[in-house]
């Protein structure tokens, strides 16, 4: 694949750099925030709109809707297929992906993006789980690591269809081949509804891009020594995501454009709340 063709492939994916299709665009009134609520490391269930407090740039907002496990999931796997992913590591990654697909519900959709020095669309969002499993069985590692480009393509895919987008990224190294700058992709993440969870193998170089990406989207980063437990981690991510609330409100009393700092609280209890720290609105 030539550079021109790869750039075209990235540009052709549904989300533009302006973020106009994301829920955090200035043209979209409803703000959606994925929220995980826990007490003693256990999810708190059964909450409604009256249980939440949301502050947008310090201004209290009226929570209009809280949904829980009602919206089908759009799950995208973004998998590192650089040359270092081979042998047992590749087998573990394939197995983890296949197991995750097997745990999906009938109404969910799943897609596959792989990245080495190139970014490849293994499967668009689909409910044909057999096709995705076959695509996973065909993956092989070679070349460098275009992690940033792969993350951008996967976020784009996650928002290409109605649903609740979850991106699971695996990488065993630092970026060596991307064309897109990290800051630009992180800005896109600030405008996107996608929640990113990532798994990175431990190395001397810290996975700063993945740490920033997961933090900005309200997800979580797992750093592991070995890939033997990848299947368990992927399943844990899926279960945790299903236990999150989707909180919706219409921003009032704040400027429409720019960075919006978010704070989400639970009334009358000392629960732990995990959510994105804010969102970027406008061009």
pLDDT in tens, 153-201: 999 999 988 889 999 999 988 899 999 999 999 999 999 999 999 999 9
The mean pLDDT of 249-255, rounded to a whole number, is 94
Q: Report the distance separating Cα 129 and Cα 111, nearest Å.
A: 9
Instruction: Note whether 126 and 110 are within 8 A (CB).
Output: yes
Q: Report the distance separating Cα 34 and Cα 254, nearest Å.
A: 20
Q: Mind listing the domains of the chain with CATH numbers?
A: 70-242 (3.40.50.410)
User: What is this structure's pTM?
Assistant: 0.90
Question: pLDDT for 36-83, tens place per residue?
Answer: 999 999 999 999 999 999 999 999 999 998 887 778 999 999 999 999
Q: Report the distance separating Cα 156 and Cα 33, nearest Å.
A: 18
Burial of residue 34 (number of CB atoms within 10 Å: 0-12, 13-18, 19+): buried
Confidence of residue 4 (pLDDT cuts 50, 70, 90): very low
Confidence of residue 268 (pLDDT cuts 50, 70, 90): confident
Instruction: Note whether 247 and 33 are within 8 A (CB).
Output: yes
Question: pLDDT for 214-234, tens place per residue?
Answer: 999 999 999 999 999 999 999
Residue of 32, 37, 34, 31 lying closest to 267 (CA atoms): 37
Instruction: Note whether 91 and 56 are within 8 A (CB).
Output: no
Q: What is the pLDDT of residue 283?
A: 61
Q: What is the pLDDT of residue 65?
A: 87
Q: What is the pLDDT of residue 21?
A: 35
Residue of 93, 142, 140 lying closest to 116 (CA atoms): 142
Q: What is the pLDDT of residue 17?
A: 35
Q: Which of 84-88, 119-123, 144-148 has the lowest mean pLDDT?
A: 84-88
Report the share of the chain in percent with pLDDT over 90.
Answer: 78
Token pair belonging to 266: 């639970």
Q: Report the distance separating Cα 269 and Cα 237, nearest Å.
A: 25
Q: What is the pLDDT of residue 8?
A: 37
Q: Report the distance separating Cα 84 and Cα 203, nearest Å.
A: 13
């Amino acid at each position: 694949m030539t550079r021109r063709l790869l750039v075209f492939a990235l540009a052709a994916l549904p989300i533009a750099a302006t973020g106009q299709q994301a829920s955090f665009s200035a043209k979209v009134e409803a703000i959606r925030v994925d929220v995980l609520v826990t007490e003693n490391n256990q999810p708190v269930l059964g909450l409604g709109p009256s249980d939440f407090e949301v502050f947008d740039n310090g201004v209290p907002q009226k929570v209009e809707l809280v949904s829980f496990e009602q919206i089908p999931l759009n799950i995208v796997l973004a998998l590192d297929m650089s040359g270092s992913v081979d042998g047992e590591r590749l087998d573990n990654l394939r197995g983890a992906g296949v197991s995750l697909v097997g745990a999906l519900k009938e109404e969910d959709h799943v897609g596959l993006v792989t990245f080495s020095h190139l970014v490849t669309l293994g499967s668009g969002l689909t409910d044909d789980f057999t096709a995705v499993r076959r695509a996973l069985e065909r993956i092989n590692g070679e070349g460098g690591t275009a992690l940033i480009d792969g993350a951008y393509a996967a976020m784009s895919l996650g928002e290409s269809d109605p649903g609740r987008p979850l991106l699971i990224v695996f990488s065993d190294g630092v970026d060596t081949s991307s064309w897109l700058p990290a800051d630009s992709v992180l800005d896109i993440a600030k405008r996107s509804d996608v929640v990113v969870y990532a798994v990175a193998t431990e190395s001397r170089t810290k996975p700063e891009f993945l740490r920033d990406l997961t933090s900005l989207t309200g997800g979580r980063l797992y750093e592991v020594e070995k890939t033997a437990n990848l299947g368990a981690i992927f399943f844990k991510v899926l279960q945790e995501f299903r236990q999150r609330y989707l909180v919706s409100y219409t921003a009032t009393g704040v400027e429409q454009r720019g960075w919006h700092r978010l704070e989400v609280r639970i009334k009358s209890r000392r629960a732990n709340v995990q959510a994105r720290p804010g969102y970027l609105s406008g061009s």
